[in-house]
Amino acid sequence: MAIITLLTDSGESDHYVAAIKAKILSTNPGLNIIDITHRIQPCDLAHAAFVLRGVFRDFPKGTVHLVGVHATGSREDTAIALQVEDYYFVGADNGLFGLITDKPHQKLVELNSIQSIPTTFPEKDVFAPAAARLASGVNITTLGKPMPTFKKMIDRQMKATKKQITGHVLRVDNFGNLITNITREAFDILSNGKTYTIQFGGEKFRKIQTLYNQVEEGECFMVFNSSGLMEIGIYKGHASELLGLNYDSMVNIIFDE
């Protein structure tokens, strides 16, 4: 069964999400709609990109991801549909899609460009019909005019040398854990059996755990999570509050000579 996922900043107290689903199902009632989340803070592109980047590949190839975060965009932003890594994405050309993968797009079209529909609710009136048609097997090239490229925001990058990795907190999750942009791959290559010191917020540690519960309750842990990113937390505690770290806080790993 064809799948459409929904990721929005619409919340759960209004009719918006139901209206998007109704539009999809009115186009093809046989489609399977999966909610990722609707609790992204309004216009929070960084959080939306973090969530989408972490989950879109878990779905079958060909899944259509409808993203309604900052859906109206800025004045010059258009509605687009793109194919990348054999997945489809529909939403506003507001820079979010450039944050989810470094792979080049396969196909890209501008929606609502041939017979333009003025709307204050593009998620329902533009994105939903396009997503439904894609999930129903319609070729993406028939949905709008081709585009050469789309807007790409640039995320803060991890920096690495032979002596040090410098990263930043990308997200404080629901548990208060601090998810950084330091990758397991970079750490494994640069550590190469060396001892190291992890520094953040005035704290220093010299060990990375493999599981959250390998420390005592209230103690700090560092693990590489299922996404391959270094995560800092307090076992059964709120690391962001207790450590005084938030989004964009710096984390360093210094390798001993």
Same domain, 141 and 235: no
Residue 207 belongs to what domain range?
159-255
The reported pLDDT for the residue numbered 126 is 96
Q: Are residues 13 and 137 in the same domain?
A: yes
Same domain, 170 and 129: no
CA 171 – CA 155 distance, rounded (Å): 12
Instruction: Judge if 119 and 19 occupy the same domain.
Output: yes
Q: What is the pLDDT of residue 115?
A: 73
Q: What is the CATH number of the domain that holds 53?
A: 3.40.50.10790
Strand pairing class (220-224; 229-234) = antiparallel
176 close to 243: Cβ distance less than 8 angstroms: no
Q: Are residues 119 and 31 in the same domain?
A: yes
Domain boundary among 146, 179, 212: 146
Whether 152 is covered by a domain: the verdict is no
Q: How far is residue 88's CA from residue 85's CA, in Å, rounded to a whole number?
A: 8
pLDDT given at position 138: 97
> CA-to-CA distance for 111 and 117, rounded, in angstroms?
10
**Cα 69 to Cα 78: distance, rounded to the nearest angstrom:** 13
Does some domain include residue 212? yes
Q: In terms of domains, do 137 and 165 share one?
A: no
Point out the domain boundary residue: 93, 121, 146.
Answer: 146
End residue of a domain, out of 118, 146, 174: 146
**SS3 letters across the chain:** CCEEEEEECCCCCCCHHHHHHHHHHHHCCCCEEEEEECCCCCCCHHHHHHHHHHHHHHCCCCCEEEEECCCCCCCCCCEEEEEECCEEEEEECCCHHHHCCCCCCCEEEECCCCCCCCCCCHHHHHHHHHHHHHHCCCCHHHCCEECCCCCCCCCCCCEECCCEEEEEEEEECCCCCEEEEEEHHHHHHHHCCCCEEEEECCEEECCCCCCHHHCCCCCEEEEECCCCEEEEEECCECHHHHHCCCCCCEEEEEECC
Asked whether residue 124 falls in the same domain as residue 241, the answer is no
| Low-confidence spans in the chain with pLDDT less than 50 | none
Pick from 235, 199, 210: which is nearest to 220 by CA? 235
Type of residue numbered 250 = M
Domain-embedded: residue 153: no
One domain for residues 141 and 167: no
34 and 60 inside one domain: yes
In 3D space, the residue among 69, 46, 232 whose CA is nearest the CA of residue 156 turns out to be 46
Q: Look at residues 74, 70, 69 and name the one whose alpha carbon lies nearest to residue 52.
A: 69
Q: 122 near 78, Cβ under 8 Å?
A: no
Convert the pLDDT of each residue in 167-215 to its tens digit. 999 999 999 999 999 999 999 999 988 999 999 998 999 999 999 999 9
Res 157: pLDDT: 86
Mean pLDDT score of the chain, rounded to an integer?
94
Q: How many structural domains are present in the chain? A: 2
On whether both 20 and 138 belong to a single domain, the answer is: yes
Q: What is the CATH number of the domain that holds 210?
A: 2.40.30.90
Query: What's the confidence (pLDDT) of residue 156?
Result: 80
What pLDDT shows up at residue 257?
Answer: 74
The residues, ordered by sequence, that sit 6+ positions from 214 with a Cβ below 8 Å of its Cβ are: 221
